Amino acid sequence: MASRKKGDPPRIDAGMSVVQPLVPARGDRKSFRLPWYGLSFSMPILVWQLVFFVFPLAFLVAISFWVVRNYRMVPTFEWLNWSYMLSRGFFWDAYLHTLAMAAGATVLVSLVAFPCAYTIAFKFRESLKQLMVLLLITPFFTSYLVRTYSWQVFLSDNGILNAALDQLGLGPLPMLNSTFGTYVGYFTLCLPLVVLLQLFSLMYIDRSLIEAAHNLGCGRVRTVFQVVVPSARIGIVVAALFCFILTFGDFVSPLYLGGGQPPTLSTLITDTTKSGQQWPRAAVIATMMIVTLLITAFASIGFAYRRRA
Amino acid sequence: MTQPLVVFDNVVKHFGSFQAVECMNLEIYKGEFVAIMGSSGCGKTTTLRMLAGLEKPSKGEIRLNGERINDLYSWERETPLVWQNLALFPFLNVIENVEFGLKMRGMAKAERRKKALLWLERLGLEEFAERDISQLSGGQKQRVALARSLVTEPPILLLDEPLSALDANLSVRMQSVLTGLQKDLGITFVYVTHSQSEAFAMADRVVIMSRGRVEQIGSPQEVFREPHNRFVAEFVGGKNILVGTVTALGDASLVRVSSEHGEFQARLPDGKTVVPGDRVTVCLSAEHVDLSVQASRPNRLACTVVGEEFIGSMVNIHLEAKDGLELQVQKMHADYDQLGIRSGQQLFAEWDAESALILRGE
C-alpha cells in the first residue's frame, strides 16, 4: 500500500471498504470531563473537610517539628521533639496504659453489649425493638461530661453506692479515682452506641440462615458462634472500633472518674502544654495517637470486610 | 404393608387465631417423591416446616420412623430442608457450606472434607469448592444447597419451592437433577411447590392443599383424571365445571344430569352413589371436548367462539354458551387447523358421556 500523509482523507478501495487514517481524530479526546453534577453536591463537604480537618491536621504535624525557645514557638524543622518524646519512659508508659485501657474497654463493652443487642434483635417483638432503639438513643440527649459528673455522686467514698453498702455493713469501697471508675466512664460513653451498632447488624441477619443452621444439626448456643457472629461481623467490628476510638482519645473519664493516675495520653497532652508551653511535644503525642487510631481503623475495617476466615 | 416413614396424625397448627393447617393426615413412605402443592397461604410450607422442626404442631402428632418427633428440636432430627432462598452461609465458601452438617456432627476435618468433595463431584461442583457463594450462578447455588443437605445421608429431604427463583429452562433441568438424585439415593423427597407442572413432572404422589386443608392425595394421573372436588379441578387446570341436578339413574355408572345449560349424561366415580334430585358438580376436561358445526352427539352445548391462545403444541379455544357459561377446549394444532375456527363462529361443543365426571365433593 502506498504511504499516506497525516490528515489525508480516508480512501475508498476498490473493494469499497473505508481505510481509516492512522492517527485518530481529534474529537476522541473529549472523553475526560469533570462530573460537575456530582461535584456540585459533594464540593461543600470536601471544602469543609479540607479547611477544618486536613489543614489543621497538617498544621499539627508541622508543629511537632517546631521548637520552643523562651516560651515561644519557633517555626523550624527539627526532629528534637520526636526524639525527646519517643525516648521518654513516661511517654511509653502512658501509651501502653492508654492502649491497654482502650483495648480492655473495647473487649468488655463488646462482650456486655452483645447479649443485650442479641436479645433485642431476636427475642423482642417489633414494637418493643423500636422502643429499645429509642431508649438507646436517649443517653446522647445529655452531655457526656454531665453524665460523668453525675457518676461522681454515685461512686465517691461518701456517695450513694457506698452509703448503700454501709447500710449492709460493707465498704466503703474505693470506686472513684480508680481503674474501675475509668471503666464506668468508658461504659457510659460507649455502651449505648455499641449496642445500637451491633443491634443494627443483628436485626438484618437473614432468619433462614439461623434456621438452616438449626436444621443442619447446630444447637442454639453453637449457632450464635457459627452463624450469628460471622453474619454480623462487620457491625460487631465497627462497633468495637468506635469503642476503641472513643476510649483511646477520651480525656474526661480517666481524669474525673479515674483520678488521672497513671496518666493516659490525653492527660499527658494537657500536662505537656501546661508545662512550659510545650505545644510541639504535645503535637508529637497527638500525632502518635492519630497514627495509632489510623492503623487500628484500617486493620479493623480490613478484618471486617475480609472475604473469609 | 411397610411402616410409613412419616406420619401426620391429625396435625393442627395455628398462629394466634389464624388456622394455618387444619387436621392434617398424611403418610409418606420410604423412597417416595411427594409434592405438597397449593396456592400461597394454603399451609403447605407450614406443613413442611413442622416436619423440619421449625414450627411446633398445636395439636396432633408427627411421627418419623414410628417415633413421635413433635418435641424434638430441628437440630435433634434428621430432616434437612432446602430453603426457597437456599439459605447458604455467605461467610463460608462452597465446601465449608457443604461440610457444615458434618462439622456439627463432630466429624474430623479430613474426613468431612473428603465426604463434602465427594458430594460436590456428584453434583458437578468440584471445581467450585473454594469459591465464594456470591461467585456462583443460581443453578450452582441450588446444587450447593442440595449437597449441603444430602451430605449427612438423611432418610428424607425436604424442599421448599427450591426452583422458583430459576428461569424456566434451568428449572426443567434441575427437575431432572432432583428426580435423578431421588432415584439414585432411594430416599424420600417431600417437595413443596405452587407449580402444578413441577409437582406433576416429578412426584409419585401429590398432596393438594387449600386454606389449611388437604383437598386430595393421589398420583398425578389420579388427581388430573379424577379430581375430588371443584377446588382440585380448578387447581390442576384445563377443566370445565358444570353444576346440575340428577334427574335419572342410567345403566352402570352413567346418570342424567339437568343443568341450566341443558341436559346431559355424566359418569359417577367409583364408590359414589346419587339419587335423583341430588345437586352434583360435573367436571369436563378441556381435551375431551370436541367441536363440530353439525350436532352429532347427545351431550352437547351450542356455543360461540370467543378467543383462542396457543400454548406450545396445543391450542386453547375459549367458548361461550348462550347463557354466559364459559368453556375451554384444548386441541392439537393439526386438529385446530382442520376445524378452521374463527372468532364469533357458532358451533357445538360435544363430548362422550364417560368424559363428564361427577365430582365426589362439592
Give me the mean pLDDT over the B297-326 stretch: 87
User: Would the pLDDT of A296 be above 60?
Assistant: yes
Whether A231 sits inside 8 A of B90 (CB atoms) is yes
Show the domain range for A147.
Answer: 88-305
For the B6-225 domain, the top CATH level (class) is alpha beta
Mutate to test the interface with B, among A215, A223, A226 (most CBs of B within 10 A): A215
**And the C-alpha cell for B137?**
450462578
Strand B279-285 and strand B326-332: the pairing is: unpaired
User: Would the pLDDT of A10 be above 70?
Assistant: no
What pTM, to 2 d.p., does this model score? 0.82
Question: For residues B101 and B271, which has the higher predicted lDDT (pLDDT)?
Answer: B101
Q: Which of B75, B89, B148 sits opposite A209 (nearest CB)?
A: B89
Helix, strand, or coil (residue B168): helix
A306 touching chain B per CB within 8 A: no
Q: How many CB pairs under 8 A join A and B?
A: 64
The single-letter DSSP state of residue B54 is S
> Which tens digits make up the pLDDT trace of B11-22?
999 999 999 999
- What is the C-alpha to C-alpha distance for residues A265 and A91, in angstroms, rounded to an integer? 8
- What is the C-alpha to C-alpha distance for residues A281 and B223, in angstroms, rounded to an integer? 88
Residue A46 in domain: no
Residues forming CATH 2.40.50.100 domain(s) in chain B = 230-358
- Structure confidence at residue A309 (pLDDT): 45
CA of A210: which chain B residue's CA is closest?
A: B87
Q: Give residue ranges of B with CB < 8 Å to any A CB.
A: 52-54, 73-75, 79-81, 83, 85, 87-93, 100-101, 104-105, 132, 148-149, 152
Name, in order, each residue with C-beta under 8 angstroms of B263's C-beta and a sequence gap of 6 or more. B247, B256, B257
Mutate to test the interface with B, among A216, A231, A306 (most CBs of B within 10 A): A216
- What is the C-alpha to C-alpha distance for residues A300 and B13, in angstroms, rounded to an integer? 47
Mutate to test the interface with A, among B96, B100, B150 (most CBs of A within 10 A): B100
Whether B81 sits inside 8 A of A230 (CB atoms) is no
Residue A198 sits in a domain whose CATH number is 1.10.3720.10
pLDDT band of B1, cuts 50, 70, 90: low
Question: For residues A247 and B296, which has the higher predicted lDDT (pLDDT)?
Answer: A247
- Structure confidence at residue A38 (pLDDT): 83
Q: What is the ipTM of this complex?
A: 0.87
pLDDT band of B298, cuts 50, 70, 90: confident
- What is the C-alpha to C-alpha distance for residues B20 and A297, in angstroms, rounded to an integer? 50
Residue A258 in domain: yes
- Structure confidence at residue A29 (pLDDT): 55
Whether A208 sits inside 8 A of B83 (CB atoms) is yes
Residue A26 in domain: no
- What is the C-alpha to C-alpha distance for residues B30 and B35, in angstroms, rounded to an integer? 14
Give me the mean pLDDT over the A151-160 stretch: 90
Nearest-Cα distance to chain A for B86, in Å, is: 9
Question: For residues A32 and A262, which has the higher predicted lDDT (pLDDT)?
Answer: A262
pLDDT band of A6, cuts 50, 70, 90: very low
Residue A226 in domain: yes
User: Would the pLDDT of B222 be above 70?
Assistant: yes
> Which tens digits make up the pLDDT trace of B62-114?
999 999 999 999 999 999 999 999 999 999 999 999 999 999 999 999 999 99
pLDDT band of A14, cuts 50, 70, 90: very low
Residue A44 in domain: no
Give me the mean pLDDT over the A138-142 stretch: 93
Mean pLDDT, all residues of chain B: 91
Which of the given ranges, A95-99, B1-5, B243-247, B306-310, has the highest pLDDT on average? A95-99
Residue A150 in domain: yes
Mean pLDDT, all residues of chain A: 88
> Which tens digits make up the pLDDT trace of A124-136?
999 999 999 999 9
CA of B147: which chain A residue's CA is closest?
A: A216
Residue A196 in domain: yes
Closest CA to B123 of B150, B88, B160, B156: B150
pLDDT band of A67, cuts 50, 70, 90: very high
Helix, strand, or coil (residue B82): strand
Give me the mean pLDDT over the A227-239 stretch: 96
Residue A2 in domain: no
A204 touching chain B per CB within 8 A: no
Q: Which helix (H) or strand (E) holds B289?
A: none
For the B230-358 domain, the top CATH level (class) is mainly beta
